[in-house]
Amino acid sequence: MRKVIALVFHYSVNGLVADEGTDYLRFCFDLLEEAGGASSDDESLDVLQGAHAHVMGRNAYAGMSRSLPKNPDHPSSGILTAGRKVVFSRTLEAADWDNTIIASGDTTAEIDKLRHGGDGHIIVWGGVTLWRSLMRLDLIDEWHLGLHPYIADEGTQLFDDVPGGYRLDLISSTALQSTGILELQYGRHR
């Protein structure tokens, strides 16, 4: 059975995810530029390439589908454009990005369909509403968090309105000295 990985970028020390138009998001992108641009390390690209499906909510899909196809030099652009994408939305009527389907049915049933058969894993890009929904349904197997050296006064609380007693086990942690970002990988304790 394929595992479901929640991929969370731009996560602050005090637990906020950077929202569009905030100083925190500008800090994240400035930090990325100072480090030489979008990550193109082999390990990160292997995780993306190895995905059976890239799952996202309507807002995450809207942002990614607008920017990545127009930026072919971005390290993940080709992988995501060619990859299978599933958008969870009850309001989106059409998906223009290649290889995209819209899932509007029962969330658990839709994820179960993706989990069964074959190789790879499922990456959940977000947004926060989708991550929380999958968390409440206990469908996330791993969390990959990019913890930024920033205490934000604006953003969205990631772990809000979630089930109590949601234990995680540390899989790995990597400190990126050049940026101060801490890459954390946690597995759901089962």
Per-residue pLDDT of the chain (190 residues; tens, 9 = 90+): 999 999 998 999 999 999 989 999 999 988 888 876 666 566 778 888 999 999 999 999 998 999 888 888 888 889 999 999 999 999 999 999 999 999 999 999 999 999 998 889 999 998 999 999 999 999 999 999 999 999 999 999 999 888 888 999 999 999 988 889 999 999 999 8
Domains and CATH numbers, the chain: 4-188 (3.40.430.10)
The DSSP symbol for 127 reads -
A 10 A CB-CB count for 161 gives: 9
Tell me the C-alpha distance between 74 and 84, whole Å.
18
Q: At how many degrees (to 10) do helices 128-136 and 107-115 cross? A: 90
User: What is the tens place of the pLDDT at every residue in 115-139?
Assistant: 998 889 999 998 999 999 999 999 9
pLDDT of residue 142: 97
Torsion of CA 172, 2, 5, 104, to 10 degrees: -170
Nearest to 27 by CA among 174, 148, 156, 182: 148
Token pair 């946690």 in the structure block, residue: 186
pTM listed for this prediction: 0.93
Tokens describing residue 29: 């992108």
